[in-house]
Amino acid sequence: MKFSVIYEAQTTDASRHGDRKVYEELVDQVILAEQCGFDTVWCVEHTALSYYAHMSAPETFLAYIAGRTTRIGIGHGVVCLPPAMNHPIKVAERIATLDILSKGRVHFGVGKGGSQQEAGAFGYKLEELQPMIDESMYLIPRFFVEDVVEHNGKYLQIPPRPVHPKPYQDPHPPMYMACTREESLATAGDRGLGALVLGFGGPPDIEKKNKIYREHWKNRDPAKQVGFNPINHLAALCPAVVLEDKARARKFGDRGMRFFVESLAHWYTGEPLPQPETWGDDPLGEAREMKTKFASESITLSPRRQSETMLEGGEQAIGDPRHCIEYCERLIAAGADEILFMWNLGTVPQWAQLETIQNIGRYVIPYFRARGI
């Protein structure tokens, strides 16, 4: 079982100062997370989503982190593959270089991004991207293992070229796919990829998606394999604020959850930006009373269900260490091989995030390690 962290670089301050502050805080957190026994640091990739996600250059952040750490895994969760955003040759070069410099610590996830706001920045329509993503997804691993690659596809034409360097891991780092909808779980299984379940449905949702993923992985056609290193692995997203005082954890966690939901809604469906300075003592209750809703079911996060689950306030590891352990037990029983803790939730202060890392490292991870999990 792996216990990891995933970052959006979410911030309540989209200014130059706010950007500096959030990145400095994340660096301090990752260094502490390594000391506390966490397995991997994962970073998303988003463009032009102010407040919700300022992690727009994860390859740079992760390279810096690799140089500041010695053990923790370095995870792209995920690299967005629209060619104008990340050309497959450059992706292969960056991943291999990072794998060498980190001495084989890289985990390589792929996806397309989730909003027209992002796709449009590079001249694409979101609904037209998937065939391009598929073409790049199958092409990149060839650069990892073949001396010279030539490709004449529908969206990419590459003359015979050698691509260097080759990765530290042989044949290449394990590959994953961002998965939120059931069809994406099936695709990941069919292609022999790890599944990064980046939604908030809680243990019941993980159990359902796990069954789909494992069945498709078990019955996959080798001809559909992406890359040369199949991995049977499901990771589950888990919002977390873990403090000794459960009520205090809920106070900060509920505000963070509401900020996450409303900043996401702003960019994905045109809702107003969150205004945490106007919230009272029950931010989730207020949001429920407002009947916050998303306008679209068509994006990868199934946002209406995400909003309902997050605003319910019960299906996360937000509370004291015992609550976190119990919630992790439910995720593990549902089929998760890795838990992706997310504590960088907008309004959650740095001290609470650092205390969350310490409490998970002091209580939660040892609890499971002592039981051979």
Higher pLDDT, 352 or 284: 352
Distance CA 286, CA 6 (A): 28
Task: Note if the bond before 165 is cis, omega within 30 degrees.
Answer: yes
Unique residue bearing structure tokens 């950007």: 19
| Angstrom distances, CA of residue 179 to CA of 268, 291, 358 | 17, 27, 29
Amino acid 280: pLDDT = 86
Q: What is the pLDDT of residues 219-260, one digit of tens each?
A: 999 999 999 999 999 999 999 999 999 999 999 999 999 999
Residue 310: predicted pLDDT: 54
How far is residue 9's CA from residue 46's CA, in Å, rounded to a whole number? 10
What's the pLDDT at 291?
45
pLDDT in tens, 85-98: 999 999 999 999 99
Q: What distance in Å separates the CA atoms of residue 201 and residue 297, rounded to the nearest whole number?
A: 14
DSSP state of 53: B
- What's the gap between Cα 239 and its chain centre? 11
Domain count for the chain: 1
**CATH for 226:** 3.20.20.30
Q: How far is CA 207 from the centre of its chain?
A: 19
Contact 76, 108 (CB under 8 A): yes
Kindly write down the DSSP assignment for every residue of 120-147, as one continuous string. Answer: HHTT--GGG-HHHHHHHHHHHHHHHH-S
285 by DSSP, 3-state: which? helix
Per DSSP, helices labelled H in the chain are 16-35, 58-68, 88-101, 116-121, 130-145, 182-190, 202-218, 246-269, 283-289, 303-312, 321-334, 350-359, 365-369
pLDDT of residue 303: 44
Does pLDDT of 288 surpass 90?
A: no
Q: Which domain holds residue 212?
A: 2-369
- pTM for the full model? 0.94
Strand, helix or coil at 364?
helix
